[in-house]
Amino acid sequence: MAHTALTPVFVGLRTGLHVLFIALTGLVIARAIFATTDASVTVIVVSVTLGLTYALGAVLTRITRARGLLRLGWLTVLTGEWMVLLWLIPDAAYLVFPLFFLYIHLLGRWWGAAAILVSTLVAICALGLHSGWTVGGVVGPLVGAGVALLIGLGYQALAREAEQREALVRELIATQGQLAATEHESGVLAERARLAREIHDTLAQGLSSIQMLLHAAERGDPGRPGIEHIRLARETAASNLAEARRFIRELTPPQLDDQTLGGALRRLARTQWASQGLDVQVRVSDTIILPMHLQTALLRIAQGAIANVIQHAHATTATITIAIENDQLQFTVADDGSGFDPLLNSKEATEKSDSFGLQAASERVQQLGGTLTVDSLPGHGTTLTVDLRLTEPE
CATH number of the domain to which 302 belongs: 3.30.565.10
Residues 29, 44: contact at Cβ < 8 Å? yes
Residue 378 near residue 336, CB atoms below 8 Å:
no
The count of domains in the chain is 2
Residue type, 392: E
Question: What are the φ and ψ backbone dihedral angles of 47, each rounded to 5 degrees?
Answer: -65, -45
- Is the same domain home to 20 and 65? yes
Task: Let me know whether 231 and 281 are in one domain.
Answer: no
Estimate to the nearest angstrom the gap between the alpha carbon of 275 and the chain centroid: 44
pLDDT of residue 133: 75
Q: What is the pLDDT of residue 383?
A: 92
Give me the helices (H) in 35-108, please: 40-64, 69-88, 96-107
Rounded CA-CA distance 99/24 in Å is 11
153 HSE (CA, 13 A, CB side):
10
Maximum CA pair distance of the chain? 134
The secondary structure of residue 95, as a DSSP letter, is G
Same domain, 234 and 130: yes
pLDDT at 62: 62
- Does residue 70 share a domain with residue 46? yes
Distance (Å) of CA 237 to CA 224, 249, 279, 353: 20, 18, 32, 21
CB atoms within 10 A of CB 118: 12
pLDDT at 353: 40
Is the domain of 234 the same as that of 262? no
Q: How far apart are CA 269 and CA 336, in angstroms?
A: 16
Last residue of a domain, one of 226, 252, 278: 252
Same domain as 327, residue 219: no
Name residues whose C-beta falls within 8 Å of residue 192's C-beta, 6 or more positions apart in sequence.
251, 252
For residue 41, how many other CB atoms are within 10 A of its CB? 11
* φ/ψ (deg, to 5) at 338: -70, -25
Closest CA to 211 of 174, 240, 183: 240
Question: How deeply is 185 buried, as exposed, middle or buried, from its count of CB atoms within 10 A (0-12, 13-18, 19+)?
Answer: middle
Does 2 lie in the same domain as 107? yes
Q: Are 355 and 246 in contact (CB under 8 A)?
A: yes
Read off the DSSP letter of residue 257. Answer: G
My answer on whether 106 and 208 are in the same domain is yes
Pair (285, 237) in one structural domain: no
Helix H or strand E segment including 231: helix 227-251
Query: Please, what is the Cα angle at 198 between 197 and 199, to 5 degrees?
Result: 90
- Among 123, 146, 148, residue whose Cα is nearest residue 136: 123
Q: φ, ψ for residue 385 (rounded to 5)?
A: -125, 130
Residue type, 391: T
Full pLDDT tens readout for the chain, 394 residues: 444 555 666 566 677 777 878 888 888 888 888 877 777 788 888 888 888 888 887 777 665 555 567 777 888 888 888 888 888 887 778 788 888 777 777 777 788 778 888 888 887 787 777 777 777 667 777 777 777 677 767 666 777 777 788 888 888 887 777 777 767 766 777 777 677 767 766 777 777 778 788 888 888 777 777 788 888 888 888 888 778 777 776 676 655 544 578 888 888 888 888 888 889 999 988 777 787 778 878 888 888 888 888 888 888 999 999 998 888 999 999 999 888 876 655 444 444 444 345 777 787 888 888 999 999 888 888 999 999 988 754 4
CA–CA gap between residue 286 and residue 262 (Å, rounded): 6
Instruction: Let me know whether 206 and 284 are in one domain.
Output: no
Domain coverage including residue 291: 255-394
Is residue 243 domain-shared with residue 265, that is, in the same domain? no
The predicted model scores a pTM of 0.40
Q: Per-residue DSSP letters for 125-191? A: HHHHHHH---HHHHHHHHHHHHHHHHHHHHHHHHHHHHHHHHHHHHHHHHHHHHHHHHHHHHHHHHH
Q: How far apart are CA 57 and CA 253, in angstroms?
A: 64
Residues 178 and 206 in one domain: yes
Q: Which of 255, 254, 258, 251 is nearest to 188 (CA)?
A: 251
Which residue, of 202, 220, 252, is where some domain finishes? 252
Domain boundary among the residues 252, 272, 302 is at 252
CA 248 to chain centre: 35
